[in-house]
Structure 1
Amino acid sequence: MRTMAAVRLPGDSTVEHVTVDVPTPGPGQVLLRMRASSVCGSDIRAIYREHLGHGAEAYQGVVAGHEPCGDVVELGPGVTTLEVSDGVAVYHITGCGACAECRIGYPIGCTAPTRAAHGWQRDGGHAEFMLAESVSCLRLPEGVTHVDGALVSCGFGTAYEGLLRAGVSGRDRLLVTGLGPVGLAAAMLGRHLGAATVIGLEPNAERAALARELDLVDVVVTDPGELADAVGDATGGRGCEVSIDCSGNEHARLAALSNTANRGHCVMVGEGGQMTFPVSDLLIHHQITMHGSWVTSLGHMAELLDLLARWGEHPERIVTHRFALADAADAYAVAAAGASGKVVITWDG
């Protein structure tokens, strides 16, 4: 039996390097040689620091990494939709295929006990090879890189889904609270979808500087106390037609809602935490629609990959740190510090 290097997350902000067997694909499965596997904020919040241990975020001691992208190196019996050497991004949740959520293409919401996410309940991308279901694998269009594909597997897919919920178009001014990797993704994709103005709130100076450097936002606010004036100046006092919170921070969420225009849309994609607000004053009287949006669908992930190719856009533009698998501890430490762009483990150099 061949073996390979892999990484697990035992908690307490530590990374464990292990040697495990290279898996063999069964019916409907493929074996991928990993090319890129990025670190998600949910990994940091729910696994790296401490194991939440319940529900969809119950970490089962598997190989970490739920943003995987690689090349097909072996086909299991019955696989006819992929070929060896195909580069693929992986939708990171495997559902039952039969429940209502799976039937509409959202395995993220699968209700079956067999539901499993790479890096959480089944082995993920922080290894030399990864076993995946062929139905979860989406070919990379020409021009889309392995790092692009890894970022689409969760973070960019999450941002895209949230923007679709709000129907972002050229009619809208967009407010993004939290310019971490998902917020940067929302700003980048919001521009491509036509948002007339993009405003970002990010107290961390390094992340705010990165958003400016990448030209993803028109206005970056680092002092939350100055956000209302900045939004007012940019919108003639109306507020932004669409806001999206990518931070999970209670105060940022409140800022997103408070600066949404009458009859606008406010989207929550940042995980964790709570939010308390006066419902009548901030929501009902302004007739705002609030959306909770969780990851994306297989269909929308495929759509996004195609759009990136057509736009000539590369999510990997927001990557600030690349590490080899052997340096995964450093990768997680950088991501956990909360001052970087996207952090990725890569085999592509």
Structure 2
Amino acid sequence: MTAIQAPTVPDRMRGVYLPGGRRTVVADDIPVPTPGYGQVLLRVGASTICGSDVRAIYREHLGSGPEGYNDVIAGHEPAGQVVAIGPGVKRLGVGARVAVYHISGCGQCSECVKGYFISCTSALRAAYGWQRDGGHGDYLLAEENTCIPLPDYLTYVDGACVACGFSTAYEALVRLQISGQDSLLITGLGPVGLAAGLLAKKLGAAPVYGTDPAGERAALALELGAVDDVLSPDDLTGAGAGTFTAAVDCSGSAAGRRTALAGLRRWGRMAFVGEGGEMSFDVSHEVIHRQLTLIGSWVTSVGRMRELLDRLVVWQLHPEVIVSDRFDLDQAATAYELVDAGKSGKAALVPS
């Protein structure tokens, strides 16, 4: 067997920062970091842009809690190749291809032990692209326990899409126990909604319908086969209400959530995935008396993300099919402007 030779790593790299307020994205030239104990250095293969990056950082800095942005390199959906390892690294070697689970937790609390680093409440919790440098750079310093091997079948762009969006959609579908017995409604056909549709079909749901006010996104969902048809909110009220056994709201809007709720039949299940905003409803009439189950689903676990990567190979599904636009790091400002418009599929930064 031929040994993999460590590539030459430069001293400097590019990094993209988000000043907030929709101001110009800032690119800077910074030193390439050196991995410490339990860490690996990745050459970034791809880093996709998430709606939460736009909502909570690009538009305005929310400034506290999990969404507190600490003026670090942005991007929490990276995948790349290991080019250097620090002491204490146990399983990854130079040349390994990985997708990165985007939160590093304390590793000791009950949530971390279950693999849900997303729910860690320790002061040690740090999300890539939020509280520690993320994937919008040429290189990324990552904790080994957040790196998941990327199957040969999947590309770096595939891995980046899984790093948050596809994993988030998959977690919600698994928690809803979606199967061939279900008909599914998806409200919000942005990247997470597209992922939910593609994965729900692999899990057997039929039919899968969607709704979105942006005609471009609705058209893309039909083109990709993520949904069987696109409905208007009016189709899901009155005589059209109570059609689906399950619903996933990926819109993060009160209107989208109400549409999903209205679309459910008795004993239906609904997962809230899209973040932000509020909604109100008559609990007795709309939920209790209809015997509905409502679930809040936040990202996923390391184990579930690994499971999804394996299933994508079996299903022969490339998540990168939802990527409508690719940009070099030097074009990050254009990429964020595009995503902020809310009409495209997924956007990926692919360092040249």
TM-score interval, normalised by the smaller of the two chains: over 0.9
| 2:322 pairs with 1:318 | yes
How many angstroms apart in 2 are the aligned matches of 1:225 and 1:206? 19
Checking the alignment, whether the CA contact within 8 Å between 1:323 and 1:331 is kept in structure 2 is yes
How many pairs were matched up?
342
Gaps of 5+ in 2: 1-9
Checking the alignment, whether the CA contact within 8 Å between 1:244 and 1:269 is kept in structure 2 is yes
Equivalences for residues 1-349 of structure 1 within 5 A: 2-14=11-23, 15-221=25-231, 223-228=232-237, 232=240, 238-347=242-351
- TM-superposed CA distance for 1:239, in Å, is 1.9
Checking the alignment, whether the CA contact within 8 Å between 1:203 and 1:224 is kept in structure 2 is no
Checking the alignment, whether the CA contact within 8 Å between 1:29 and 1:133 is kept in structure 2 is yes
How many angstroms apart in 2 are the aligned matches of 1:238 and 1:275? 19
- TM-superposed CA distance for 1:219, in Å, is 1.3
Checking the alignment, whether the CA contact within 8 Å between 1:245 and 1:270 is kept in structure 2 is yes
- TM-superposed CA distance for 1:142, in Å, is 2.0
DSSP 3-state at the match of 1:291: strand
Deviates more, 1:11-20 or 1:286-295: 11-20
Indicate the residue corresponding to 2:3 in structure 1: none
DSSP 3-state at the match of 1:242: strand
DSSP 3-state at the match of 2:295: strand
How many angstroms apart in 1 are the aligned matches of 2:94 and 2:11? 19
Residues 26-80 of structure 1 deviation map (CA, whole Å, 9 limit, x = unaligned)? 0100000001000000000000010000110000000000000000000111212
- TM-superposed CA distance for 1:196, in Å, is 1.5
How many angstroms apart in 1 are the aligned matches of 2:281 and 2:173? 23
DSSP 3-state at the match of 1:126: coil
How many angstroms apart in 2 are the aligned matches of 1:242 and 1:22? 47
Checking the alignment, whether the CA contact within 8 Å between 2:50 and 2:77 is kept in structure 1 is yes
Aligned-partner residue type, residue 177 of structure 1: T
How many angstroms apart in 2 are the aligned matches of 1:134 and 1:313? 26
TM-aligned CA distance change 1:229 to 1:139, over 3 Å: farther
Checking the alignment, whether the CA contact within 8 Å between 1:201 and 1:227 is kept in structure 2 is no
Aligned-partner residue type, residue 236 of structure 2: L
How many angstroms apart in 2 are the aligned matches of 1:140 and 1:265? 32
How many angstroms apart in 1 are the aligned matches of 2:11 and 2:350? 21
State the identity %.
Answer: 55
DSSP 3-state at the match of 2:30: strand
- TM-superposed CA distance for 1:226, in Å, is 2.5
Gaps of 5+ in 1: none
DSSP 3-state at the match of 1:10: coil
- Dislocated runs of 4+, deviation >2 Å: 226-230
TM-score by length of 2: 0.95
CA RMSD of superposed structures (Å): 1.2
Aligned-partner residue type, residue 55 of structure 1: G
Checking the alignment, whether the CA contact within 8 Å between 2:236 and 2:262 is kept in structure 1 is no
How many angstroms apart in 2 are the aligned matches of 1:177 and 1:70? 32
Checking the alignment, whether the CA contact within 8 Å between 2:137 and 2:351 is kept in structure 1 is no
Checking the alignment, whether the CA contact within 8 Å between 1:319 and 1:342 is kept in structure 2 is yes
How many angstroms apart in 1 are the aligned matches of 2:213 and 2:129? 30
Residues 113-170 of structure 1 deviation map (CA, whole Å, 9 limit, x = unaligned)? 1100000000000000000001110111121110010010001110000001100000
TM-score by length of 1: 0.96
How many angstroms apart in 2 are the aligned matches of 1:331 and 1:36? 13
How many angstroms apart in 2 are the aligned matches of 1:48 and 1:311? 35
Deviates more, 1:318-327 or 1:238-247: 238-247
- TM-superposed CA distance for 1:229, in Å, is 6.9
